[in-house]
Amino acid sequence: MKATGKTLTLRGTMVAADWDNWNTKNILDYANVLDINKAWRVRWVETWLSTPIGLIAAGSRTDCSITTMLDTESVVNPVNRADDNRQIAWGSQTYSLGRAPASKCTGIIGNQVVIDPDHIVQKELNINFLPLGDAVIEGVEIDINFIVYLEEIQITANESIVSTIKQSAQSLNQ
């Protein structure tokens, strides 16, 4: 594996994310099966609410969280687990919706992102969001922004085959 010096930025918005369910969006679909030596590595990922935090049940005295996951193959029933080889990055954010009117909202109170340093993205990259909150905010439509920074890498045919087998074996088990 060696870096080519090229980068790629993927960004967008998950519109009207559904509370208490995983919301999946395909952000990279590279279908050139003849080019098995081209791949990418995720260098960093950031997510944040597009919906102003002060407009989500302001003063409700509640907190909400957004769990984020990047995977290299669409997972039917995703679970945020490090033992699934298709999952390559995980994130979590917690927001405080305040104890008073919108002007008193404290916004983000915690953020963590973990990226597997030994991963290869060859054909597909999906971003998944799981917004969680109590009954006060369930049903409130939110939009979640994301930006993913990729580094292009050159891989050998053997590395490509091993990566494909690693992901496919996980698909059969799950």
Task: Kindly report the pTM of this predicted structure.
Answer: 0.85
In a domain, residue 12? The reply is yes
Extended beta strands in 18-86, E state:
23-29, 38-49, 63-71
Q: Is residue 20 part of a domain?
A: yes
How many angstroms separate the CA atoms of 41 and 88, rounded? 10
C-alpha atoms less than 13 angstroms from C-alpha of 41 in its C-beta half-sphere: 16
Q: Is residue 101 part of a domain?
A: yes
Domain count, the chain: 1
122-152 per-position pLDDT tens digit: 989 999 999 887 777 777 778 899 999 999 9
pLDDT at 137: 74
Residue 111 lies in a domain: yes
Q: What are the angstrom distances between the C-alpha of 135 and each of 6, 7, 20, 32, 72? A: 45, 42, 11, 45, 33
Please check whether residue 170 lies inside any domain of the structure: no
In a domain, 174, yes or no: no
Q: Is residue 170 pLDDT above 90, yes or no?
A: no
CATH code for position 62: 2.60.120
* Model confidence pLDDT, tens digit, residues 62-72: 778 889 999 99
Q: Which range marks the domain in which residue 91 is found?
A: 6-153
Judge whether 78 lies within some domain.
yes
pLDDT tens digits along 11-61: 999 987 787 788 999 999 987 777 889 999 999 999 988 876 666 666 666
